[in-house]
């Protein structure tokens, strides 16, 4: 059996990992998608939640700690991210990269660099961008497209690399707009012919990373 065949999804399970900086709404997004309070801010034990849809599909979501945390060295956070990805065995169909619509900071630019460094440049094939705080977009009468056009080049370039997989959600709304997120997930699966991010890809990323300067060394921190 070839690797590709082995790593094609079982259609009845969708595995997602939430990733992004601290406080951007990762856990809230997970709760919106699972339609229950599976993740809480205070309890780091709640790292995975799942639900079974009426059509038999099982949705499994892995929550993660924020990337830019002054209290925790970046490398430690990424080691934990690896563990969370491994817990989503045999591998996530998509990494939902979460940003808040209200700000895109240097920390977000750095987070994108770290994600590519740690999981490999090819990780963009599995990334889908989700903005939380869609309410403020609606408040200012803006569309997501116009917001993106006016945003920093690094964000625009990430979205291009993700093949335009981007949406916005309002986790505080009774109807947050989760359909848009599931459309993105389906798009990600389709773009990858149902092959998910697997252990072999991570092993390749580790090799790739070993040939590069250590980005998580504080000397290289921009
Ligand atoms: N207005 C608004 N607030 C949101 C939205 N999503 C999350 N929040 C708020 O943002 C804050 C942080 O949300 P969390 O879901 O805890 O963020 P997180 O990324 O999991 O945070 P860490 O786990 O600490 O990294 C909370 O006060 C949420 O209520 C949104 O769509 N709109
Ligand atoms: Mg959280």
Taking alpha carbons only, the member of 114, 130, 124 closest to residue 192 is: 124
Domain parsing of the chain, residue ranges: 3-220
Q: Among 132, 173, 175, which residue has the most ligand 1 atoms within 8 Å of its CB, making it the best to mutate? A: 132
48-52 and 58-62 strand pairing: antiparallel
Q: Take residue 48 and report the two structure tokens written for it.
A: 């995975």
- Please work out whether the CB of residue 41 comes within 6 Å of at least one atom of ligand 1: yes
| pLDDT, tens only, 50-95 | 999 999 999 999 999 999 888 899 999 999 999 999 999 999 999 9
Fold of 3-220: Rossmann fold (3.40.50)
CB-ligand 1 contact for 1 (6 Å cutoff): no
Q: Tell me the CA–centroid distance for residue 98 and ligand 2, in Å.
A: 11
Q: Give per-residue pLDDT as tens, 93-116.
A: 999 999 999 999 999 999 999 999
Helix (H) or strand (E) holding 169: strand 166-169
Q: How far, rounded to the nearest angstrom, does the alpha carbon of residue 25 sit from its chain's CA centroid?
A: 11
Rounded-to-integer distance, Cα 169 and Cα 172, Å:
9
Shortest CA distance to 136 belongs to which of 20, 22, 21, 25? 25
pLDDT band at 221 (very low <50, low <70, confident <90, very high): very low
Q: How far is residue 141's CA from residue 161's CA, in Å, rounded to a whole number?
A: 27
Residue 97 φ/ψ, nearest 5 degrees: -90, 115
pLDDT digits (tens, 9 = 90+) for 134-164: 999 989 999 999 999 999 999 999 999 999 9
What are the helix (H) ranges across 3-161? 3-6, 26-34, 74-87, 106-119, 134-139, 144-149, 153-161
Mean pLDDT for the chain overall: 91
């Amino acid at each position: 059996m070839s690797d590709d065949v082995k790593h094609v999804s079982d259609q009845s399970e969708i595995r997602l990992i939430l990733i992004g900086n601290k406080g951007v709404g990762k856990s809230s997004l997970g709760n919106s998608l699972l339609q229950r309070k599976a993740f809480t801010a205070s309890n780091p034990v709640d790292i995975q939640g799942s639900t079974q849809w009426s059509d038999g599909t099982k949705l499994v979501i892995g929550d993660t700690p924020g990337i830019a945390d002054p209290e925790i060295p970046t490398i430690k956070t990424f080691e934990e991210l690896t563990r969370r990805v491994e817990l989503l065995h045999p591998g996530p169909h998509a990494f939902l990269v979460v940003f808040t619509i209200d700000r895109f900071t240097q920390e977000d630019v750095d987070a994108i660099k770290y994600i590519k460094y740690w999981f490999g440049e090819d990780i963009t094939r599995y990334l889908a961008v989700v903005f939380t705080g869609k309410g403020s977009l609606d408040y200012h009468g803006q569309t997501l497209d116009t917001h993106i056009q006016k945003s920093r080049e690094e964000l625009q370039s990430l979205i291009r690399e993700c093949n335009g997989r981007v949406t916005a959600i309002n986790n505080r709304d009774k109807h947050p707009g989760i359909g848009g997120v599931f459309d993105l997930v389906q798009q990600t699966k389709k773009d990858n012919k149902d092959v998910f991010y697997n252990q072999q890809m991570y092993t390749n990323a580790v090799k790739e990373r070993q040939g590069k300067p250590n980005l998580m060394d504080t000397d290289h921190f921009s």
